[in-house]
């Protein structure tokens, strides 16, 4: 069997369970089972790549599929402790399709769909003798003929949309195919569908408007089952030595559940624990180039937003989302919504931000692209800024900030301290190669504006304080009086940098070098 009542889910899920980094998400089964045989039986759960969609789909297949005994597999999981555990255990005919799997050397949408239909028809003919030797105009006719009902688990439903050989007409046809297969069909007990892209359901004539859609922007039902919570990551750290919880949090945290609880990127956490090293794992598998291309085509719409977020300033916005057919993004709302859907931005309580260090590295590279215009020119000169700071060349530091401020980039014209922070971020972007830079860092009796922690020996730590309307002397005095130096005790050399700006004066910089004995 290819799709019908196969043991693929069981075998694949068993491999995941054998991993040292598996996290029990089995209570998803209880939640999904509530929808079986109800008018709300159509569920579409979209999440970024590598966020647990396929693991959960295989878990559901392993639990529901008729003809196997999965009791031993689930016996030690949370679901086994519920009263409803055995109600649906291996009780259903399951059609499980991973739409990301394609025929060898597939070159057209027609080849792709014909391959799926051929395997599904073969499965049904093998299992139901009454369907053999008959011609059917639609696959739904063959499913009616069986007289049975089915749970459909359709993983990565939108994967075909990313193929170069698929055009808009093909996409519309695929949506109609899914509609004919699923919509208002009496043989459907449950349709559980996953993907990255939201369904095109934003018009009254949408083909799949029977689905309830749950994504990063609206899910308050299933959000705890995708991604790792803080508690789950702490447990993994206890079982897998080599990386601290604080390291994992800095690198891979930054997403939120609907109630504001923290979510970690699961792929990156597991990779880091297995390799005992925090690196950029997840974004190498995702469509960062696609997002960057969208930004390039609409740079004026989102350039300011990106610079603010790289500066650690969240962007307030009421996003409306976008659909699976809107792969060509034309507006600021669509671009930002796409970045949330893909997982490149975090969105909570109406605020957008770059989730973590892993993604911050990617967005820093975006600022260096030619399409960023004047911003790229500033970034290209940021190496000079760091060198001037380390040499304590106060005049050059001040002149470079003055140069950036004088560029014809509207959001760099100071209206508040956030604008000054954007300038500082761009001026010191090169420093992020050798430093971990924290904005509004808690230290001593308050929060210093910028803390630069060197990643390698031989470089000084840097504490940078901004004063809009004040003096450099006041900035340096604040660093000392509020004991911001507390965060730099392990470094031999520290630079205290005060930068002041007044509407009536030019930028002024003061740098004081000190040491820890």
Which of the pair, 450 or 408, is modelled with greater confidence?
Answer: 450
Nearest alpha carbon to residue 476 among 492, 460, 488, 465: 465
Average pLDDT of span 258-274 = 94
Express as a percent the part of the chain with pLDDT over 70.
Answer: 91
Of 209, 224, 239, at which residue does a domain stop? Answer: 224
Q: Tell me, what's the pLDDT at 283? A: 67
Q: Tell me, what's the pLDDT at 504? A: 65
C-alpha dist (Å) from residue 286 to 275, 290, 296 = 20, 9, 18
Which of 33-42, 354-363, 382-391 is predicted with the least confidence, judged by mean pLDDT? Answer: 354-363
Q: Look at the block and give the residue holding tokens 């196997």.
A: 68
CA 106 – CA 237 distance, rounded (Å): 42
Residues 58 and 178 in one domain: yes
Q: Is 204's pLDDT higher than 50?
A: no
Residue 198 DSSP class: P
Residues 26 and 150 in one domain: yes
Q: Tell me, what's the pLDDT at 72? A: 95
| 8 A C-beta contact, residue 100 and residue 159 | yes
Q: Tell me if 3 is assigned to some domain.
A: no
For residue 348, the Cα-to-chain-centroid distance in whole angstroms is: 13
Q: Tell me if 479 is assigned to some domain.
A: yes
Q: Tell me, what's the pLDDT at 203? A: 42
Residues 215 and 351 in one domain: no
Which of 144-148, 385-389, 404-408 is predicted with the least confidence, judged by mean pLDDT? Answer: 404-408
How many CA atoms does the CB half-sphere of 378 hold within 13 Å?
27
Reported pTM: 0.88
C-alpha dist (Å) from residue 351 to 37, 303, 441 = 38, 17, 20
Residues 341 and 477 in one domain: no
Instruction: Output the six-digit token pair for 180.
Output: 């004919």
Taking the CA atoms of residue 266, residue 269, residue 272 and residue 275 in that order, the dihedral angle to the nearest 10 degrees is -60
**pLDDT digit string (tens) for 49-85?**
889 999 999 999 999 999 999 999 999 999 999 999 9
Of 237, 265, 284, at which residue does a domain stop? Answer: 284
Q: Is 318's pLDDT higher than 90?
A: no
Q: Tell me, what's the pLDDT at 291? A: 63
Which of 1-5, 366-370, 404-408, 448-452 is predicted with the least confidence, judged by mean pLDDT? Answer: 404-408
Instruction: Output the six-digit token pair for 210.
Output: 């029977």
Residues 14 and 24 in one domain: yes
Q: Is 426's pLDDT higher than 60?
A: yes
Average pLDDT of span 340-366 = 89
User: Which residues are CB-neighbours of 40 under 8 A, at least 6 positions away?
Assistant: 212
Q: Tell me, what's the pLDDT at 202? A: 45
CA 225 – CA 10 distance, rounded (Å): 19
Average pLDDT of span 328-342 = 81
Average pLDDT of span 106-132 = 96
Helix (H/G/I), strand (E/B), else coil: 131: helix
Average pLDDT of span 8-35 = 95
**DSSP structure string for 367-393:** TTSGGGTHHHHHHHTHHHHHHHHHTT-
Q: Tell me if 404 is assigned to some domain.
A: yes
**pLDDT digit string (tens) for 279-308?**
988 866 555 666 666 676 677 778 888 888
Instruction: For residue 125, give the H/E element and its range.
Output: helix 109-127
Nearest alpha carbon to residue 511 among 465, 469, 453, 470: 465
Q: Is 505's pLDDT higher than 70?
A: no
Q: Tell me, what's the pLDDT at 502? A: 76
Q: Tell me, what's the pLDDT at 325? A: 63
How many residues are recorded in the chain? Answer: 517
CA 308 – CA 159 distance, rounded (Å): 32
How many domains does the chain divide into?
4
Q: Is 441's pLDDT higher than 90?
A: no
CA 450 – CA 498 distance, rounded (Å): 11
Residues 22 and 150 in one domain: yes
Helix (H/G/I), strand (E/B), else coil: 95: strand
Contacts 24+ apart (CB under 8 A), 326-333: 326/200, 327/161, 327/197, 329/294, 329/297, 329/298, 330/298, 331/298, 331/301, 332/298, 332/301, 332/302, 332/305
Q: Tell me if 89 is assigned to some domain.
A: yes
Of 238, 253, 284, at which residue does a domain stop? Answer: 284
Q: Tell me, what's the pLDDT at 329? A: 72
Q: Which domain does 263 fall in, by range?
A: 227-284
Residues 125 and 61 in one domain: yes
């Amino acid at each position: 069997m290819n799709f019908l009542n196969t043991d693929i889910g069981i075998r694949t899920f068993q491999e995941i369970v054998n991993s040292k980094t598996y996290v029990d998400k089995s209570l998803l089964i209880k939640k999904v089972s509530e929808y079986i045989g109800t008018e709300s039986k159509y569920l579409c759960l979209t999440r970024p790549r590598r966020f647990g969609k396929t693991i959960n789909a295989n878990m559901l297949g392993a639990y529901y599929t008729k003809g196997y005994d999965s009791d031993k597999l689930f016996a030690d999981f949370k679901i086994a402790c519920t009263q409803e555990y055995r109600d649906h255990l291996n009780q259903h005919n399951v059609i499980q399709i991973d739409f990301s799997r394609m025929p060898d050397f597939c070159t057209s949408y027609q080849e792709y769909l014909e391959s799926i239909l051929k395997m599904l028809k073969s499965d049904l003919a093998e299992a139901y003798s009454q369907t053999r030797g008959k011609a059917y105009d639609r696959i739904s006719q063959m499913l009616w003929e069986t007289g049975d009902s089915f749970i459909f688990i359709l993983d990565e439903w939108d994967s075909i949309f990313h193929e170069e050989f698929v055009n808009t007409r093909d996409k519309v046809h695929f949506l109609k195919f899914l509609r004919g297969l699923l919509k208002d069909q009496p043989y459907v007990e449950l349709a559980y569908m996953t993907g990255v892209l939201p369904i095109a359901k934003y018009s009254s004539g949408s083909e799949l408007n029977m689905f309830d859609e749950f994504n990063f922007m609206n899910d308050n039902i299933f959000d705890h089952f995708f991604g790792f919570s803080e508690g789950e990551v702490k447990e993994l750290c206890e079982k897998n030595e080599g990386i601290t919880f604080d390291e994992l949090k800095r690198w891979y945290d930054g997403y939120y559940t609907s109630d504001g609880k923290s979510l970690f990127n699961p792929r990156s956490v597991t990779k880091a624990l297995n390799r005992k090293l925090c690196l950029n794992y997840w974004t190498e598998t995702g469509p960062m180039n696609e997002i960057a291309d969208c930004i390039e085509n609409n740079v004026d719409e989102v350039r300011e937003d990106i610079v603010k977020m790289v500066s650690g300033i969240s962007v307030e916005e009421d996003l409306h989302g976008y659909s699976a057919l809107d792969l060509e993004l034309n507006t600021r709302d669509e671009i930002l919504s796409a970045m949330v859907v893909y997982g490149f931005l975090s969105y909570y309580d109406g605020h957008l931000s770059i989730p973590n260090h892993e993604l911050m590295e990617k967005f820093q590279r975006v600022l260096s692209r030619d399409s960023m215009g004047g911003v790229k020119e500033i970034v290209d000169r940021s190496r000079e800024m760091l060198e001037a700071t380390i040499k304590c060349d106060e005049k050059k530091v001040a002149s470079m900030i003055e140069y950036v401020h004088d560029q014809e980039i509207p959001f760099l014209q100071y209206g508040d301290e956030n604008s000054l922070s954007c300038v500082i971020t761009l001026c010191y972007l090169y420093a992020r190669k050798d430093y971990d830079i924290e904005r509004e860092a808690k230290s001593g009796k308050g929060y210093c504006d910028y803390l630069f922690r060197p990643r390698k020996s031989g470089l000084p730590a840097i504490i940078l304080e901004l004063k809009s309307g004040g003096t450099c002397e006041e900035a340096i005095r604040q660093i000392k009086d509020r004991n911001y130096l507390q965060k730099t005790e392990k470094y031999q050399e520290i630079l205290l940098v005060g930068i002041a700006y007044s509407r009536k004066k030019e930028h002024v910089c003061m740098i004081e070098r000190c040491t820890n004995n």
